[in-house]
């Protein structure tokens, strides 16, 4: 039996090998040996409830742990591997974001939002594989390297006052993490171009061809992210396999909305779109270096529940390979191209309905027949994205330049209701919330003033807070870090944390160029460790497992970022250098003048000189002055020191003459001009 | 100078050199009469010169760039606004007696634009007098026990998030709206705001979030805005078993909006926030108007004479005049416009300026007489409203949180046709759009231009550096006169004693007497202190009087006066009437009292000028002449010369004018006519000052009133 079966197995092996040849990456050279450097490109499109479209580009390159190639790579960007080797980076994530992720409308529970919704500006965290005392040095070097690589001022994260060391609340829980953000960093194409350079095909071929700058930056949210993990091989420390994951998440407004808006009746129909209409470009072929190149269309749970597919069995069968007509061409929408595959989500406890994923292969297209997919809505659909269990918002309280308070308010979304039944077996269920908050040193937070309110009732801090870690800020040295684990009852409606602070004074040269704008408090991270955002899709074979889908399957806790806050601090008047110069000069002049006066004066000699002078005839000007002062006083002038009355007479005459001449001049001017 | 002085002294004996500054001081003190006359005249003159010295405004912050972009507000948005106006003025919407329907309509309109909408319910908070609460920051408000479901207001708030902004800052647009009895003007203001709002949901240049607050003005515009701001800035997280507005059945109807969560914008009842407020605009449209032009009035004065940054007014003025062709005016004292003396003064200045210009063509400081009169009227109203310390509109609530805000009141020339309505919607909308766009351009908060200024016309201002001069000149003679009085009183008594004692005995006994004499002013200081203490008590009294239920203003005022007199008498008797014992010992006592009074007035005015300049200026105009002229009437009668007679008359007149209630009635009579003056009015006025926590009240109670009492006591001094 075994012998009989063997040829079949062999045949199958050959078959699969052939199959592999045609769509595995071209960069593979020695198939038989160790793992290859691989690159894959994927794009995920997802309609959002508020007439917008989420596009999520996912590029993944991986380099195997090999010493054979030395420092040479076929596909993998050399800079990254050098960076990893030099600074012994275990894991790193760098994100550039513009705009805010709207957690209420765009959801916060799915893997995309939970790992790709980032705070505005730059966020960088890294885990190092070096001894404790070298970590800071490595971090500083890393920031400078990245700053050069991505044309951004990441080097500002170098100073100890800007980055922090999360102890345990930050997801990659380990002591070697460094975390820093630059909330006011502007993100633009100059950051995107170096990021694209890391791709083997850049933006010249494949899905990256769609990255048309004007349409990208016209979007409502734009976040480019670079995540790398190096898996250390067991034998040597240096040799490591690196996985570089580059994602770009954009939220775009399909253009067709304007046309639809004219008809008021059709106003609520979702806009139809196609790849070419939203990006203004088309994919003319895949990147030949990519192992896989595919485009996905994700209809999330809420939408699928609203769409009411004719029957679920058809969907199931579609997942098994049968492209059923009524799944991709629904009464409510129409796809412009047949999906190559359809995945259904594995049933989860989180929600009743399941999301559907359509997959399109890019490889079939060519120059003459560019790849393009579109979605046309026929009927208005409204749905809601899955929300985080609690919606977090943060704001400042108080006013004035002296003190204030930060408040983090958590509000329950309806979503939590469905969860409670699953979580609470013994009636008293608890919701764990981790809060990670970094506060710059000039915002002097008083940690003792932390107060907790649950359902509008003040509660003792010890009741609600399970665990807290605080590292107070040091002036000009390190920021304040607060890590809190809250245990809230599941039925909580609202919860709020408030903490008071004093506003500090900065030294004049510590102010940034636009100091009157105010100072940013970076976003707080609110994570829900009990909840995992993952989407597991039913797949028939593991070979076709794409990096994006496997990323979706990872169990990462649900995370959300709060708003960036702007704290107005007292600022000196910078616009008055002139005044400063004037007053300094005056002070100097007064000081040196009086000093010289004191130094060169001889009191006894002066008195003698004065007496001698009094005996002599005095000059005109002092005399005049003495007259004036005497007159003003209303006393008689002492005859003693105005002996020559004639001179004073001359003086008064002179004055009269001068006045007369001036009056004449004025009169002349007045009458003859 | 040094040498001359040396010489003047050298005839007596070689004295040590006196420092020039000390000599100058001695000189000024010895000529205090001349100096005070010159300074006071110059001070008053400088005040009247201010309209001439006013500079043209200019936009100081470069980032504002007003009018650099062409307005995007099109007829499409105007017709959207018109639709809202029609729906609101539709009689069907007014059917419900609580006016919830119109709030629903507004909220629905906002939702359709894709904005985040929330309702804010508030209970009107009675303004209360808190002693010693004048300068503290606004708190989150007291929890009142007797909330009822019948009295609450609903603010409708719509927020547009800037598509690519980081949400750190926000611009607030406020339209007061009374759903119960709204005039056409209010609906029109909502229409303007809505057309701008609908434009702003589409634009791509937005960097700051936009908050549109439809403030429910049935309990007053200010109260609604203040309640919303209080919730925004200092929210209460704990509600201690007070009946919440949420429990009222009416309110819950609000949330039954037809919100099919269209276009993803969900309606929620939670309070929504955007970032730090950069600026706020309050928009109003006046109902009836007799003017022939579309005008726009700017109200800027907030509590205690605080003003928004001048750049905000500049931007509005620039856009209104140069882009939208609207006439801009700021408030004037209309009664001053027709006064002939002001006109003649203006003519004098004009002719002087003409002469100066003919002498030297570069001297161009003159302004036409009519312009001068208008400038003075505006300046006077600017001074008056700043001095009053009561905000002139809902924008005052923002200033309490250091947000620059102004109220714009559009008064269109009234006609009913649709073209006109569209025109006012378009122009008003474009003006608001331009201002918002300018503020949106700002990277930093408003800080470039002036915060301390007086307006003489919408495009002219007097900065602090100029108007300080008038005040400084007015109060400059006070310390000199005080010093000279002290010196005179000291030396005169010295002389009288010196005559009686033989020259040989001027030894150790004299030393002692000099020491005692040099401390004699303490007696008068005690008197002045007691009177000021009395002033403090008097200013605390209204707090208790206002607790008495069912009290008409007149009776309250009478109670106040009675209690004041009573407390003065008790204080005087309890604290060992110093005036009486001083009388016995010294005849020059009044000079000491006057000297100490003048010093205390100087300190009071100086302090007040820091807190509220305008109050100090007006106070100085009243009090400085009275203080300087005060002299016992008996002495004047005894002297019997013409000069003393004049002084007596002046003293009597000033003594009447400077009494706070008298000054109030005089001012009121000048503005409104004397016909309907009522004693209760003063009480009402004082209550309003109290309610707005105006520092002017403290000034009147603790500086002006004691000063007046002291001066009167000097006048009737028996010596």
Whether chain A has a CB inside 8 Å of the CB on B6: the answer is yes
- pLDDT, average across residues A302-321: 56
Whether residue A476 is predicted with pLDDT greater than 80 in this model: the reply is yes
The domain locations on chain B are 62-133+147-331+392-444+452-458, 338-385, 473-496+513-715
Chain A residue with Cα closest to B361: A673
CA–CA–CA angle A417, A423, A428 (5° rounding): 90
Structure token pair of residue B390:
């009561």
Interface of B with A in 320-349 (CB under 8 A): none
Residue B8: which pLDDT band, with cuts at 50, 70 and 90? very low
Q: Scan residues 251-270 of B and list those with Cβ closer than 8 Å to A.
A: 260-266, 270
Residue B142 has pLDDT above 60, yes or no: no
Is A157:A124 a contact under the CB 8 Å cutoff? yes
Looking at beta carbons, which residues of chain B come within 8 Å of A397? 233-235
Smallest CA–CA separation between B463 and chain A, in Å? 16
Tell me which residue in B7, B238, B260 faces A382 most closely, judged by beta carbons: B260
Contacts of B169 in chain A (CB under 8 A): 566
How far apart are the C-alpha atoms of B408 and B300, rounded to whole Å? 9
Flag whether pLDDT at A319 surpasses 80. Answer: no
Report percent pLDDT > 90 for chain A.
Answer: 25
For residue A464, list chain B residues with Cβ-Cβ distance below 8 A: none
Using an 8 Å CB-CB cutoff, list chain A residues near B262: 268, 382
What Å distances lie between residue A374 and A206, A279, B402, CA to CA? Answer: 18, 12, 51
Question: Any residues with CB less than 8 A from the CB of A585 and at least 6 apart, and which?
Answer: none
Nearest to A610 among B6, B138, B237 (CB): B6
Listed residue (B274, B74, B244, B670) closest to A396, CA to CA: B274
Nearest to B264 by CA among A459, A109, A387, A600: A387
Contact across the interface for B167 and A100, Cβ inside 8 Å: yes
Whether the predicted pLDDT of A421 surpasses 70: no
**pLDDT for residue B583:** 47
**Residues in chain B within 8 Å Cβ distance of A396:** 276
Q: Give the Cβ contact number of residue A510 at 10 Å.
A: 11
- Interface contact B359, partner A, CB < 8 A: yes
Cβ contact A498–B237 (<8 Å): yes
CA distance B486 to B498: 18
Q: What topology is assigned to B62-133+147-331+392-444+452-458 in CATH?
A: Aminopeptidase (3.40.630)
B235/A contact by beta carbon, under 8 A = yes
Read off the pLDDT of residues A122-163 as tens digits, 9 standing for 90 and up: 999 998 888 888 899 999 999 999 999 999 999 999 999 999
Query: Is the confidence at residue B14, as pLDDT, over 60?
Result: no
Nearest CA in chain B to A394: B273
Contact A384, B261 (CB under 8 A): yes
pLDDT bin (cut points 50, 70, 90) of residue B213 is: very high
Q: How confident is the model at residue A36 (pLDDT cuts 50, 70, 90)?
A: confident
The Cα–Cα gap between A578 and B47 comes to 29
pLDDT for the residue A143: 94
For residue A261, give the nearest of B422, B80, B391 by alpha carbon.
B80
In whole angstroms, give the CA distance from residue A211 to residue A190: 14
Give kind and range of the element (H or E) at residue B621.
helix B613-629
pLDDT at site B389: 86
Min Cα–Cα distance to chain A from B199, Å: 13
CB–CB of B251/B154 below 8 Å? yes
List CB contacts (< 8 A) between B260 and chain A. 268, 382
Q: Among B451, B476, B465, B471, which residue's Cα sits nearest to residue B614? A: B471
Give the minimum alpha-carbon distance from A600 to chain B in angstroms, rounded to a whole number: 17
CB-nearest partner of B263 from A268, A456, A640: A268
pLDDT at B303: 86
Q: Does B31 touch chain A (CB under 8 A)?
A: yes
Integer Cα distance of B374 and B456 in angstroms: 8
Among A396, A517, A673, select the one facing B443 at the smallest CB separation: A517
- Which domains, from first to last, does chain A contain? 55-265 (no CATH), 269-381 (no CATH), 390-507+515-533 (2.60.40.1170)
Question: What residues of chain A lie within 8 A of the CB of B10, using their CB?
Answer: 614, 641
Separation CA B253–CA B249 (nearest Å)? 7
Task: Pick A50's closest partner by Cβ from B10, B264, B358.
Answer: B264
CA distance B325 to B320: 6
Q: Do A516 and B10 touch (CB under 8 A)?
A: no
pLDDT reported for residue B255 = 54
Is the CB of A453 less than 8 angstroms away from the CB of B6?
no
Which residues from chain B sit within 8 angstroms of residue A382, using beta carbons?
A: 260-264
Q: Which of A122, A186, A451, A518 to mutate to test the interface with B (most CBs of B within 10 A)?
A: A518
The C-alpha angle with vertex A378 and arms to A374 and A381, in degrees rounded to 5, equals 100
Interface test with chain B among A306, A626, A640, by most B beta carbons within 10 Å: A626
State the pLDDT at residue B644: 86
Non-local CB neighbours of B606 within 8 Å, separated by 6+ positions: B475, B616
Number of A–B residue contacts, CB under 8 Å: 153
As a whole number of angstroms, the distance between CA A277 and CA A218 comes to: 13
Q: Could you tell me which residue, B378 or A311, shows the higher pLDDT?
A: B378
Which residue of chain A has the CA closest to B61? A575
Chain A CB contacts of B266 below 8 Å: 104-105, 384
Q: How far is B276 from chain A (nearest CA, A)?
A: 7
pLDDT of residue A381: 82
Average pLDDT over chain A, rounded to an integer:
79
User: With contacts defined as CB-CB under 8 Å, which chain A residues touch B137?
Assistant: 398-400
Contacts of B76 in chain A (CB under 8 A): none
Question: Would strands A494-503 and A443-454 be described as parallel, antiparallel, or unpaired?
Answer: antiparallel
Q: How far apart are CA A409 and CA A407, in angstroms?
A: 6
pLDDT, position A665: 86
> Which of A395, A464, A594, A603 best probes binding to B when mutated, by most B CB atoms within 10 angstroms?
A395
Q: How many helices (H) and strands (E) does chain B have?
A: 28, 11
Distance from CA of B703 to the nearest CA of A (A): 28
Tell me what ipTM this predicted complex has.
Answer: 0.84
Residue that the structure tokens 């002219």 belong to = B460
Q: Can you say whether residue B278 is alpha, beta or left, with left for phi > 0 and alpha for psi between -120 and 50 degrees?
A: alpha
pLDDT at position B504 is 44
Band the pLDDT of B606: cuts 50, 70, 90.
very high
More confident residue, B708 or A644: B708
| Residues of chain B contacting A104 with CB distance shorter than 8 Å | 266
> Span A176-205, mean pLDDT?
90
Please list every residue in chain A whose beta carbon sits closer than 8 Å to the beta carbon of residue B263.
Answer: 49-51, 268, 382
The mean per-residue pLDDT over the stretch B4-29 comes to: 63
User: A592-601, B89-98, B135-144, B589-598 — which is least confidently predicted?
Assistant: B135-144
Instruction: Compute the nearest-CA separation of B220 from chain A (Å).
Output: 24
pLDDT at A417 over 70: no
Lowest mean pLDDT among A60-69, A88-97, A598-607: A60-69
Residue A166 pLDDT level (bands cut at 50, 70, 90): confident
Q: How far is CA B8 from the centre of its chain?
A: 51
Helix (H) or strand (E) holding B41: helix B32-53
Query: In degrees, to the nearest 5, what angle opens at C-alpha A414 toward C-alphas B156 and A172?
Result: 110
Within its chain, how far is the Cα of B585 from the centroid? 46
Q: Please, which pLDDT band fits residue A70 given cuts at 50, 70 and 90?
A: low
The separation between CA A616 and the C-alpha centre of its own chain, rounded to angstroms, equals: 84
pLDDT digits (tens, 9 = 90+) for B620-675: 998 999 988 888 888 888 887 888 888 888 888 988 888 888 888 888 887 776 66
A18 pLDDT higher than 50: no
**pLDDT at residue B306 greater than cutoff 70:** yes
Is B584 an 8 Å CB contact of chain A?
no
- Comparing CB atoms, the residue among B4, B358, B401 nearest residue A622 is B4
Confidence of residue A170 (pLDDT cuts 50, 70, 90): low
Percentage of the residues of chain B whose pLDDT score is greater than 70: 82
**B684 Cβ neighbours under 8 A, 6+ residues apart:** B553
Q: Do B168 and A104 touch (CB under 8 A)?
A: no
Shortest distance, CA B394 to any CA of chain A (angstroms): 18
Q: Do B167 and A563 touch (CB under 8 A)?
A: yes
When CB atoms are compared, the residue of A100, A384, A409 closest to B261 is A384
Question: Higher pLDDT residue, B243 or B435?
Answer: B435
What are the φ/ψ torsions at residue B494 (nearest 5 degrees)? -60, -45
Of the residues A452, A566, A612, the best mutation for testing chain B's interface (the one with the most B CB atoms within 10 Å of its CB) is A566
Q: In a mutagenesis test of the B interface, which of A187, A398, A513 is the best target, namely the one with the most B β-carbons within 10 Å? A: A398
For residue B291, pLDDT beyond 90: no
Q: What confidence score (pLDDT) does residue B706 get?
A: 92
Task: Give me the pLDDT at residue A348, please.
Answer: 59
Taking CA–CA distances from B398, the nearest residue in chain A reads: A399
Nearest residue to A529 (alpha-carbon basis) of A560, A554, A553, A556? A556
Give contacts of B233 with chain A, Cβ < 8 Å: 397-399
The DSSP letter of residue A554 is S
pLDDT at A9 over 70: no
Lowest mean pLDDT among A62-71, A403-412, B322-331: A62-71
pLDDT at B316: 94
Rounded mean pLDDT of A173-199?
Answer: 87
A142: left (phi over 0), alpha (psi -120 to 50) or beta: alpha
- C-alpha radius of gyration, chain B, whole number: 31
Residue (of A222, A226, A232) closest to A199 by Cα position: A226
């Amino acid at each position: 039996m075994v012998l009989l079966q063997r040829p079949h197995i062999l045949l199958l092996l050959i078959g699969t090998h052939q199959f592999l040849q045609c769509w595995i990456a071209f960069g593979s050279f020695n198939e038989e040996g160790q793992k290859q450097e691989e690159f894959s490109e994927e794009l995920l499109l997802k309609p959002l409830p508020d007439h917008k479209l989420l596009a999520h580009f996912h590029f993944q390159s991986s380099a195997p742990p090999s010493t054979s190639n030395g420092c040479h790579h076929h596909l993998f960007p050399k800079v990254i591997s050098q960076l990893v080797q030099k600074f012994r980076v275990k894991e790193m994530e760098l994100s550039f974001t513009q705009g805010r992720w709207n957690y209420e409308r765009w959801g916060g529970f799915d893997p995309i939002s939970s790992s790709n919704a980032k705070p505005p500006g730059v966020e960088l965290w890294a885990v190092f594989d070096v001894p404790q005392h070298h970590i800071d040095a490595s971090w500083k070097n890393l920031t400078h390297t990245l700053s050069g690589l991505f044309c951004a001022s990441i080097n500002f994260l170098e100073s100890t006052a800007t980055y922090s060391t999360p102890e345990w609340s930050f997801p990659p829980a380990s002591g070697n993490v460094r975390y820093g953000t630059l909330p006011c960093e502007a993100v633009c194409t100059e950051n995107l171009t170096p990021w694209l350079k890391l791709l083997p095909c850049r933006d010249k071929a494949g899905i990256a061809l769609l990255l048309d700058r004007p349409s990208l930056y016209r979007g409502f949210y734009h976040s480019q992210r670079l995540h790398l993990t190096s898996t250390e091989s067991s034998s040597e420390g240096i040799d490591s396999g690196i996985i570089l994951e580059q994602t770009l998440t954009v939220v775009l407004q399909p253009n067709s909305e304007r046309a639809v808006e004219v008809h008021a009746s059709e106003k609520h129909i979702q806009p139809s779109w196609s790849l070419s209409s939203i990006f203004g470009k088309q994919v003319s072929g895949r990147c030949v270096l990519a192992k896989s190149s595919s485009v996905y269309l994700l209809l999330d749970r809420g939408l699928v529940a609203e769409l009411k597919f004719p029957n679920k069995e058809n969907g199931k069968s579609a997942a098994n390979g049968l492209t059923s007509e009524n799944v991709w061409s629904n009464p409510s929408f129409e796809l412009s191209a047949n999906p190559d595959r359809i995945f259904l989500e594995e049933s989860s406890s989180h929600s009743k309905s399941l999301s559907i994923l359509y997959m399109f292969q890019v490889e079939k297209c060519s120059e003459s027949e560019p790849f393009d997919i579109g979605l046309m809505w026929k009927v208005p659909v409204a749905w809601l994205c899955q929300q985080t269990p609690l919606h977090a918002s943060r704001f400042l309280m108080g006013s004035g330049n002296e003190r204030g308070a930060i408040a983090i308010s958590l509000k329950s979304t309806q979503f939590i209701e469905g969860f409670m039944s699953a979580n609470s077996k013994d009636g008293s269920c608890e919701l764990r919330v981790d809060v990670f908050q970094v506060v710059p040193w000039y915002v002097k937070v008083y940690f003792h003033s932390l107060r907790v309110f649950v359902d509008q009732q003040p509660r003792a801090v010890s009741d609600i807070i399970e665990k807290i870690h605080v590292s107070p800020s040091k002036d000009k040295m390190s920021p304040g870090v607060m890590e809190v684990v809250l245990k809230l009852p599941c039925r909580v409606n609202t919860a709020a944390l408030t903490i008071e602070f004093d506003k500090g004074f900065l030294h004049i040269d510590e102010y940034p160029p636009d100091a009157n704008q105010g100072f940013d408090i970076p976003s707080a991270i609110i994570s829900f460790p009990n909840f995992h955002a993952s989407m597991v899709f039913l797949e028939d074979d593991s070979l076709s497992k794409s990096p994006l889908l496997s990323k979706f399957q990872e169990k990462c806790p649900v995370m959300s970022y709060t708003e960036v806050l702007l704290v107005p601090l007292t600022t000196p008047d910078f616009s008055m250098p002139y005044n400063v110069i004037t007053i300094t000069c005056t002070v100097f002049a007064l000081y040196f003048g009086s000093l010289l006066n004191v130094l060169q004066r001889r009191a006894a000699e002066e008195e003698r000189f004065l007496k001698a002078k009094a005996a002599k005839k005095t000059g005109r000007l002092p005399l005049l002055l003495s007259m004036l002062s005497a007159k003003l006083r209303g006393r008689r002038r002492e005859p003693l020191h105005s002996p020559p009355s004639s001179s004073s007479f001359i003086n008064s005459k002179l004055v009269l003459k001068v006045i007369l001449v001036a009056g004449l001049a004025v009169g002349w001017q007045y009458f003859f001009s | 100078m040094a040498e001359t002085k040396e010489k003047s002294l050298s005839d007596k004996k070689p004295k040590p050199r006196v420092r020039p500054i000390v000599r100058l001081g001695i000189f000024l003190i010895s000529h205090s009469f001349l100096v005070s006359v010159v300074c006071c005249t110059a001070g008053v003159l400088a005040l009247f010169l201010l309209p001439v010295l006013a500079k043209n405004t200019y936009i100081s912050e470069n980032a504002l760039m007003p009018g650099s972009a062409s307005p995007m507000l099109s007829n499409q948005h105007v017709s959207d606004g018109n639709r809202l106006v029609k729906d609101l003025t539709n009689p069907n919407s007014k059917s419900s007696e609580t006016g919830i329907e119109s709030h629903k309509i507004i909220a629905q309109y906002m939702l359709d634009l894709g904005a985040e909408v929330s309702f804010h319910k508030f209970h009107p908070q009675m303004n209360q007098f808190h002693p010693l609460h004048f300068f503290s920051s606004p708190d989150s408000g007291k929890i009142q026990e007797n909330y009822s479901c019948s009295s609450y207001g609903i603010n409708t708030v719509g927020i547009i998030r800037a598509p690519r902004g980081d949400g750190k800052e926000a611009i607030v647009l406020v339209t007061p709206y009374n759903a119960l009895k709204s005039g056409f003007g209010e609906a029109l203001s909502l229409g303007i705001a809505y057309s701008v709002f609908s434009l702003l949901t589409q634009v791509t240049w937005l960097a700051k979030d936009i908050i549109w607050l439809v403030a429910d003005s049935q309990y007053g515009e200010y109260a609604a805005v203040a309640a919303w701001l209080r919730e925004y800035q200092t929210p209460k997280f704990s509600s201690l078993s007070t009946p919440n507005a949420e429990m009222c059945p009416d309110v819950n109807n609000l949330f039954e909006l037809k919100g099919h969560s269209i276009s993803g914008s969900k309606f929620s009842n939670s309070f929504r926030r955007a970032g730090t407020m950069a600026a706020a605009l309050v928009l109003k449209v006046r109902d009836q108007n007799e003017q022939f032009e579309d005008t726009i009035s700017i109200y800027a004065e907030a509590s205690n004479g605080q003003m928004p940054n001048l750049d905000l007014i500049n931007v509005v003025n620039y856009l209104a005049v140069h882009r939208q062709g609207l006439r801009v005016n700021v408030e004037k004292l209309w009664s001053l416009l027709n006064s002939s003396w002001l006109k003649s003064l203006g003519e004098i200045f004009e002719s002087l300026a003409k002469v100066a210009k003919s002498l030297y063509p570069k001297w161009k400081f003159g302004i036409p007489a009519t312009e001068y009169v208008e400038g003075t009227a505006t300046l006077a109203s600017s001074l008056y409203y700043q001095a009053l310390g009561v905000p002139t509109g809902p924008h005052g609530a923002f200033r309490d949180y250091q947000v620059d805000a102004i109220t714009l009141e559009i008064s269109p020339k009234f006609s009913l046709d649709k073209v006109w309505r569209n025109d006012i919607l378009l122009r008003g909308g474009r003006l608001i759009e331009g201002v918002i766009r300018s503020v949106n351009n700002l990277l930093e908060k408003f800080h470039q231009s002036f915060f301390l200024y007086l307006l003489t016309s919408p495009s002219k201002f007097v900065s602090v550096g100029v108007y300080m001069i008038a005040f400084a000149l007015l109060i400059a003679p006070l310390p000199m006169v005080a010093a000279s009085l002290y010196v005179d009183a000291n030396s005169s008594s010295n002389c009288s004693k010196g005559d009686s004692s033989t020259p040989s005995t001027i030894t150790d006994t004299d030393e002692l007497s000099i020491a005692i004499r040099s401390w004699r002013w303490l007696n008068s200081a005690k008197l002045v202190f007691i009177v000021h203490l009395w002033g403090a008590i008097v200013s605390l009294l209204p707090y208790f009087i206002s607790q008495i239920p069912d009290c008409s203003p007149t009776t309250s005022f009478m109670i106040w006066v009675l209690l004041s007199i009573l407390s003065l008498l008790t204080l005087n008797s309890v604290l060992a009437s110093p005036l009486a014992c001083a009388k016995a010992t010294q005849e020059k006592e009044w000079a000491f009292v006057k000297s100490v009074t003048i010093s205390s007035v100087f300190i009071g005015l100086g302090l007040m000028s820091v807190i509220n300049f305008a109050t100090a200026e007006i106070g100085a105009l009243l009090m400085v002449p009275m203080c300087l002229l005060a002299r016992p009437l008996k002495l004047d009668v005894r002297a019997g010369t013409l000069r003393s007679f004049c002084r007596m008359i002046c003293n009597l007149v000033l003594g009447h004018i400077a009494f706070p209630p008298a000054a109030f009635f005089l001012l009121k009579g000048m503005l409104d006519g004397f016909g309907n003056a009522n004693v209760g009015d003063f009480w009402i006025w004082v209550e309003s000052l109290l309610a707005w926590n105006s520092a002017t009240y403290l000034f009147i109670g603790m500086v002006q009133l004691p000063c007046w009492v002291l001066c009167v006591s000097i006048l009737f001094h028996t010596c």
